[in-house]
A and B are shown apart, each in its own frame.
Chain A
Amino acid sequence: MSVKKFVVGCFDDEKTLFPAVKNTRKAGYKIHDVYTPFPIHGLDHAMGLRDTSLHTAGFIYGITGTTTALTFMSWVFTKDWPLNIGGKPNLPLPAFIPIVFELTVLCAAVGMVLTFCYLCQLAPFVRKDHFHLRATDDLFVMPIEITDKTNAEEVKAFFKSAGAVEVFEKSAETGWWLGRYDSTKKAFEKEEEIVTA
């Protein structure tokens, strides 16, 4: 958890957002993230994000479910408590398949949802900073991290030339924390400076 300083550019149209993202990368600034009210096709590609590994994780969860179901049922019906059910063999593979399938799907689905929530830092009772509340409504918000090597004024000027409708500087907590939004006040102690273009 750490509080970092950002310059936040807000755009009101996809058409200005895409060139802005492209030019930001070209200029060498580090895009923290882009917050949008709805999923935008191709934005991940424009931001240069790598493909997610979530499906690999899903495969591993699924395989775990498969092996759990198979080994447990085989052990129960051959070693632990063999039962004669309708004269079927003690290891009736076809009868196992539906359960194996269900457990595979269950493990893959639940595991992937939890992993997804972790990656997005989403959980009950957990709080995160918003850069701009209208990112959940009608604004595309792109914060750029200010380091020792970046000049905040330069970034602001760049955003304005890229067509941002609102540019401001903000210190924000990048991680998640447990508790109430009150604690964000610490992050907001520094005065926000809002420049309207």
Chain B
Amino acid sequence: MALKEQFEIPGGLKKWSYALMGVGALTLILGIVFLHPFSGGHGEAHGAEAYGATKFWMALMHNSIFWLLVVASSFFFICATTLAQGGWPLAFRRVPEAISGGMNVLGPVALVVLLAYVWISDDHHIYHWKDASHLDEKLKAKSGFLNPTFYTVLSITAVGLWMWFRNWFRKNSLAEDLAGKGDTSFYWKSLAIAAAFLVTYGLTVLSTLPWMWLMSIDAHWYSTMYSWYTFASSWVAGISLMMLFVVYLKNLGYLEFVNDEHIHDIGKFMFAFSIFWTYLWFSQFMLIWYSNQPEETEYFIDRVGIPGQPGPFKAIFILNLLINFLAPLLILMKRGSKRNYTIVTLMAVVIIFGHWLDFYQMVTPGPLQELGQESNSISHFLYSLGIGAGFLGLVIFLTAKYLAKAPLLAKNHPLVKESVIHHT
């Protein structure tokens, strides 16, 4: 059989991505028509319309941030393995390269959503700090960090830099394909790009950006672990997304050099980083639970409630632990299950959904607490799910587009052989 190097987008995939994007667009239009995103929310006007606007922006922010961080984390995967001079992912490296291409669209989308909320929308239930007239003493103390201008500058800089590094890396990788066989200058350049990106990523997603984008939703509350925890969530979801695409391409007969060992290694990443996520989740929870300081526990009271008075998010909170920790731990523990295409596919879907749910319970409870308990309805969950379907369709569409643009094997990379003969 000839080497199937060039990906051609199958009609089925196209149809699915269009259908999902259609669902998302429909949800978005329904939201614009019925939830009045640009009106209400200010001052005394706490009507149903104000709640609508909050829900609309929450669903958009939750999904745009989640999917942006997920596609960005697949570029983080490339850079981490490149800098460690790891050869094994070379057989499928074009897949995370293509997934991270989604940043070129999802980045601007997320920026438009976030900045539109901060600058245009009248609603202030999500970011209390954005309205200077509503600041209490604690928020005033934080206003050097939490203010619309700094928010805008940091968001645009961070997302812009990620996209720039990603496109530079990709350009370098494609140029390597055309160059001569023994030319390692592209390889050394890719190491430098990877190192620079990792520093950027470390200073944004791994430390400051989730504080600003997500933690400031509960503006009075703070946790220094929060960014790591957010990163762990997006990172394990990103690995799972990569696994889905690798298995999909493998089933279509592409990625000839990917064998059980590569699948096993991606499976190990899914398993290990599920536990890493749990470790951070638990460290954050236990310290707050143990010290029992009111200004810290409020975050968890909004979610699980207090004994005898369960909070509205208790079910999601527990489900989150079950499918993000217990399921990967027990199901992916065995060697055989990390090599079984059906099981890893199933677990990848479960993990992506689980971490989408994790982001849902990061974003939603704070504002909904303000709106009153009755506002936590199935309808908001479904609305968020609809928007999420749109983003998923977009991710599939963009990944397929970038996959089809280049050969599936970076054949001139000096470490390709290491990946081809990879075994345990």
Contact = CB atoms under 8 A, between A and B. Distances in A.
B286 A95 contact: yes
B48 interface: no
A94 B333 contact: no
Contacts of A45: 423
* Range for the number of chain B residues in contact with chain A: 10 to 19
Contacts of A42: 423
A93 B292 CA distance: 15
B285 A94 contact: yes
Interface string B290-303: 10100000000000
Interface string B132-147: 0000000000000000
Contacts of B423: 41-42, 45
A94 B335 contact: no
A94 B292 contact: no
Interface in A66-118: 86-88, 94-95, 97-98
A51 B335 contact: yes
A98 B286 CA distance: 10
B282 interface: yes
B290 A95 contact: yes
A32 interface: no
Contacts of A94: 282, 285-286, 289-290
B333 A97 contact: no
Contacts of B335: 51, 55
Contacts of A87: 292
A59 interface: yes
Interface residues of A, number: 13
Contact of B292 (A41, A59, A86): A86
A97 B286 contact: yes
Interface string A36-66: 0000011001000001000100010000000
A29 B333 CA distance: 37
A55 B424 CA distance: 15
Interface in B270-313: 282, 285-286, 289-290, 292
A33 to B, nearest CB: 20
Contacts of B424: 41
Contacts of A55: 335
Contacts of B282: 94, 97
B246 to A, nearest CB: 23
Contacts of A95: 286, 290
Contacts of A97: 282, 286
A152 to B, nearest CB: 35
Nearest to B286: A94
Nearest to B290: A95
A59 B329 CA distance: 12
B125 to A, nearest CB: 31
Nearest to A95: B290
A42 B333 CA distance: 23
B259 to A, nearest CB: 13
B342 to A, nearest CB: 21
Contacts of B292: 86-87
A95 B289 CA distance: 9
10 nearest CB pairs, A to B: A94-B286, A94-B289, A42-B423, A41-B423, A95-B290, A97-B282, A97-B286, A94-B285, A55-B335, A86-B292
21 contacts: A41-B423, A41-B424, A42-B423, A45-B423, A51-B335, A55-B335, A59-B333, A86-B290, A86-B292, A87-B292, A88-B290, A94-B282, A94-B285, A94-B286, A94-B289, A94-B290, A95-B286, A95-B290, A97-B282, A97-B286, A98-B286
Interface of A: 41-42, 45, 51, 55, 59, 86-88, 94-95, 97-98
Interface of B: 282, 285-286, 289-290, 292, 333, 335, 423-424
Given A41-B423, A42-B423, 12 more contacts: A41-B424, A45-B423, A51-B335, A59-B333, A86-B290, A87-B292, A88-B290, A94-B285, A94-B286, A94-B289, A94-B290, A95-B286
